[in-house]
Amino acid sequence: MKPKGKGKVGQTLQIINIVPLLVFGFISILLCYYCFTRTMYMEITQELHYVACSVESLMDAAYPGDYSLVGDKALQLYKGETNITQAYDLLDNLKSQTDLEITIFYQDTSILTTTYNAATGTRFVGIGASEAAISQVLQNDGVLFAPSALINGIRYFAYYMPLKNSDGRTIGMICVAKPSGQVDTEILKSLYPFIIVTIAAMGIISAFLFIYTKRVAGILLHIRNFLLDVSTGNLTAELEPSVSKRRDEFGDIGRSALSMQSSLRNMIEQDALTGLSNRRAADRRLKQIIRKYATDGTPFSIAIGDIDFFKKVNDTYGHDAGDLILKNVADTLREHMRTYGFVARWGGEEFLLVFDHSDVWEAHQVLENMCSDLRRMESAYDGIIIMVTMTIGLAAGDTTDINALIRSADEFLYEGKEAGRNRIVWSKPQRNDEPVEAVISLAEADAIIREK
């Protein structure tokens, strides 16, 4: 698309250019409003989430034990051995620091809250939660961000998260809310300068329209070509620096396009050969599991497996055979890990296996079965049958230090290689006076690649 040349009728040309310019300015304002509002919502959600987690942690620290409702008519909420029905000091203090409303629900009924009824001067206790909160949080064990929750006739941004007892059962909700008016005011104040600058820029561009026609068309062409490259899968495309450095609507669009490109690149987290998660995706998911372990002590384990003598496969049969082995091994690992966690290609012939909700005993049993299937797996290539084994290092998820976990599993893997491969090496928890360290061999086979 080339910039249009100057027409014969100046007024017609102005109309043709000014109308799209006005439309573009309006769309830019809406796009900026949408992006800014969405960003604000994300920040508010994160803020409310942190406060909700703080409420949960502070309540656990101040009143150890599980939540329970005691009584037939005059119900009292207990946490452990303490009646917390009127324990408002902690919540009121947190409200004074954050200016947020905090409510603790037992099931779908508010028991503790910092919100007052303006008409009666009493707290809003005994009030039922919304159907959306009940469905999303209590029934589906999820979280809910409600941007238009009405509390005492005032619109709030409300965040609901499950309230769990030590057995993992959801028994209620924590709701943290922020008045919407504050956020709306901040958004409008932030947008006023942009709107004024946009209108002024539109007036200047209109006055010098004929001079800047080709320049504007060139800028649009850069953005168009960049988005076209991105839409066709070229996520390494570069936007003309002069576009992204501009301080007008075109610069905003350019930077938004760059942000979109970055988001798309981050979404590509799959290993092309095996279809497994790649290292970046595995790192992100493992961090999530570690955060869950740090929050509620959910057990987990990790293992690093290495295909034995894989280089020999490549050297003997070629890289196509090696790729076939990698795919077949990945399929077997994926099948065994389907209900226990996830598996990722860690690099080369190494695989990371993460067991969510599984301790090392359960993880070890899964790995034993998996390695047995691997030893029986036959990969047909070019008229021959290739069989392989795997050496695995297994580590218990007993720390939040991801580097230490990986290093521990890697050390066990190295120990297994030194001990002869084709085995699982792990830190076996002590049972019935058994030694703590144990090396479990899957087989004492010498040959791990056989032709049939």
Helices 10-62 and 249-267, interaxial angle, to 10°? 50
The encoded tokens of residue 316 equal 């003997």
> Which residue do the tokens 């998660």 mark?
277
> Which residue do the tokens 């310019």 mark?
21
Could you list the beta-strand ranges (E) of 295-418.
300-307, 341-347, 350-356, 379-381, 384-386, 390-396
Residue type, position 275, single letter: G
- Residue 348 CB neighbours (<10 A): 12
The encoded tokens of residue 96 equal 């004074």
The encoded tokens of residue 130 equal 């919304």
Query: Rounded to whole angstroms, how far apart are CA atoms 351 and 342?
Result: 10
* Backbone torsions φ then ψ of 272, nearest 5 degrees: -65, -35
The pLDDT assigned to 233 comes to: 67
* Cα angle 262, 267, 270; round to 5: 135
Could you list the beta-strand ranges (E) of 143-254.
144-151, 154-164, 170-179
The encoded tokens of residue 6 equal 């100057």
* Cα angle 120, 125, 127; round to 5: 100
All structural domains of the chain = 37-183 (3.30.450.40), 208-267 (1.10.8), 279-441 (3.30.70.270)
The pLDDT assigned to 432 comes to: 44
What is the separation of C-alpha 258 from the centre of its chain, rounded to a whole number of angstroms?
A: 21
The pLDDT assigned to 437 comes to: 43
* Backbone torsions φ then ψ of 439, nearest 5 degrees: -115, 115
pLDDT string in tens for the chain (452-residue length) = 443 344 343 345 456 666 776 777 778 777 877 787 888 888 888 889 999 999 999 988 988 999 988 876 667 888 888 888 888 888 999 989 988 999 999 998 888 999 888 778 888 888 888 888 999 999 999 999 888 888 777 888 899 999 999 888 999 999 999 888 877 777 777 777 877 877 777 777 666 665 656 666 667 778 878 888 888 867 668 888 888 888 888 888 888 988 888 777 666 778 889 989 898 889 888 999 999 999 998 899 999 999 999 999 999 999 999 999 999 999 999 999 999 999 999 989 999 999 998 999 999 999 999 999 999 999 999 999 999 999 999 999 988 899 999 999 999 999 999 999 999 999 777 554 444 444 444 443 334 344 43
Query: Rounded to whole angstroms, how far apart are CA atoms 227 and 219?
Result: 13
The pLDDT assigned to 319 comes to: 93
The pLDDT assigned to 241 comes to: 87
The pLDDT assigned to 377 comes to: 94
Contact (CB, 8 A) for 82 and 65: yes
The pLDDT assigned to 42 comes to: 86
